[in-house]
Amino acid sequence: MKILIPTDGSFGYKVMCLVLAGLYAWFLMGLDIDGYIDRANYLIYAQHSDEIFVMYAASSLKTILTNEPVWLLFNIWASRHFTPEDTLRIIIFFSSFVVTFLVLRSYPKYAFLLILFILMPQVMKNNIIHLRQGVGITLFFLGWWCRYLPLRVFFIGLAPFVHASFFFIDALLLLNIAFSTFKISTIWRMVYMVGIGVVLGALGIWLAGALGARQGESDEYSAMGSGGSGLGFVFWVVFTVVFSMEGKEFLRNNFFAASILVFYLSTYFLLPVTARVFESGMLVVLLASLGLTDWRRYAAYSLYAFYFCMQWYPVLGLPGFGWATENTL
């Protein structure tokens, strides 16, 4: 399994990445703090995480562990030093700056495409409306791109305790380590991943409830897997076909990214939260696809452009690009 370590690039390129990441993070941090969907909930976390933590602690240890305790503890600490609004600004700046900088410096020769990835709505919204998920992605990427193994394990292991989707992402990573350790063939890896996806898709919400996670409340999450047109599913099927046609060696070296795709597609109609899980790993998939060659590379470029336009075109005329609070009224 290949770990994506950012290439060094030139000093000037690193400075450019720092500047772009800083400007982007500053812009997002400066948006109306309570003008977007879910911001009210995050302001509640910034004020009352101590009460929420005590509520989970009164239940059981497993309930604490499956309900993002690191997220709660950070908010408890921040509430003692900052206003709720400033806490959100710190979260937005930190997560958007770190992820943007790490992504931009990863492959300097693909700088334009990397900017495109960062500006995709499915990525961008993690620093606008899904702030907890944005922090989880930041911690995961800090670990994913860390050269020091203990810190890599620490940050990757910390991510699920900020956003529960990383229990799935980390499980996929561990499976890939096991596949590599036992030298499982690429074909059998695919078969196992489809089987695991179907089982987790069928039992995932029940398992979350059994562990005391709030995601187990089916009334809250059942709508998340419905209501879509299915176009996203079709798009990622096509993307997966192109990705897979690069060959067995490419798949073996990038099977973690492939497993994220396979898990998403195999659970699309079964697991209500599968889209959120996929969004947590989508940048890994996009970055891995930069290694495609020949016609597959140009097919991927076309798919990037189509997906970017498909996501932005319907929301360009909406307040807050479709994320403003007035759209929920």
pLDDT in tens, 36-94: 999 999 999 999 999 999 999 998 888 999 899 999 999 999 999 999 999 999 999 99
Give dist(CA 108, CA 284) in Å, integer: 16
Mean pLDDT for all residues in the chain? 90
The model carries a pTM of: 0.92
- 3-state DSSP helix/strand/coil percent for the chain, to nearest 5? 80, 0, 20
- With respect to residue 305, please indicate whether it lies within any of the assigned structural domains: no
Token pair recorded at residue 240: 């997966």
Give dist(CA 262, CA 281) in Å, integer: 12
Note the pLDDT tens digit of each residue in 147-184.
Answer: 999 999 999 999 999 999 999 999 999 999 999 999 99
- With respect to residue 308, please indicate whether it lies within any of the assigned structural domains: no
- With respect to residue 105, please indicate whether it lies within any of the assigned structural domains: yes
Q: Are 275 and 322 part of one and the same domain?
A: no
- With respect to residue 227, please indicate whether it lies within any of the assigned structural domains: yes
User: Which helix H or strand E contains 158, and what residues bound it?
Assistant: helix 149-158
Q: Are 71 and 170 part of one and the same domain?
A: no
Note the pLDDT tens digit of each residue in 108-117.
Answer: 999 999 999 9
- Contact, 264 vs 278, CB < 8 A? yes
pLDDT at 122 over 60: yes
- Contact, 265 vs 233, CB < 8 A? yes
Q: Are 152 and 181 part of one and the same domain?
A: no
Q: Are 153 and 191 part of one and the same domain?
A: no
- With respect to residue 119, please indicate whether it lies within any of the assigned structural domains: yes
Q: Are 270 and 171 part of one and the same domain?
A: yes
pLDDT at 60: 87
User: Which helix H or strand E contains 241, and what residues bound it?
Assistant: helix 231-244
Give the mean pLDDT of 2-23.
Answer: 79
pLDDT at 224 over 50: no
Give dist(CA 323, CA 126) in Å, integer: 11
- Contact, 128 vs 323, CB < 8 A? yes
pLDDT at 4: 52
Could you write out the DSSP letters of every residue in 192-219? HHHHHHHHHHHHHHHHHHHTT-GGG-HH
Q: Are 19 and 69 part of one and the same domain?
A: yes
Number of structural domains, the chain? 2
Q: Which residues are CB-contacts of 44 (< 8 A; sequence separation ≥ 6)?
A: none
- With respect to residue 106, please indicate whether it lies within any of the assigned structural domains: yes
Q: Are 176 and 279 part of one and the same domain?
A: yes
- Residue found by looking up tokens 């470029």 in the block: 301
Q: Are 154 and 221 part of one and the same domain?
A: no
Give dist(CA 110, CA 286) in Å, integer: 12
pLDDT at 329: 36
Give dist(CA 41, CA 21) in Å, integer: 26
pLDDT at 222 over 50: no
Note the pLDDT tens digit of each residue in 281-313.
Answer: 999 999 999 999 999 999 999 999 999 999 999
Give dist(CA 249, CA 259) in Å, integer: 15
Q: Are 224 and 142 part of one and the same domain?
A: no
pLDDT at 146: 94
User: Is the dihedral angle over the CA atoms 129, 265, 112, 156 positive or is it negative?
Assistant: positive
Portion of the chain with pLDDT greater than 70, in percent? 89
Q: Minimal CA–CA distance to 146: which of 115, 102, 114? A: 102
15, amino acid identity: V
- With respect to residue 217, please indicate whether it lies within any of the assigned structural domains: yes
Q: Are 132 and 200 part of one and the same domain?
A: no
Q: Are 260 and 228 part of one and the same domain?
A: yes
pLDDT at 213: 65
Q: Rounded to the nearest 5 degrees, what angle is found at the Cα of 136, between the Cα atoms of 134 and 137? A: 65
Q: Are 180 and 240 part of one and the same domain?
A: yes
- With respect to residue 301, please indicate whether it lies within any of the assigned structural domains: no
pLDDT at 36: 95
Task: Please provide the size of the chain in residues.
Answer: 329
- Contact, 111 vs 68, CB < 8 A? no
96, amino acid identity: S
pLDDT at 92: 98
Give dist(CA 89, CA 82) in Å, integer: 10
Structural domain including 184 reads 164-292
Note the pLDDT tens digit of each residue in 245-256.
Answer: 999 999 999 999
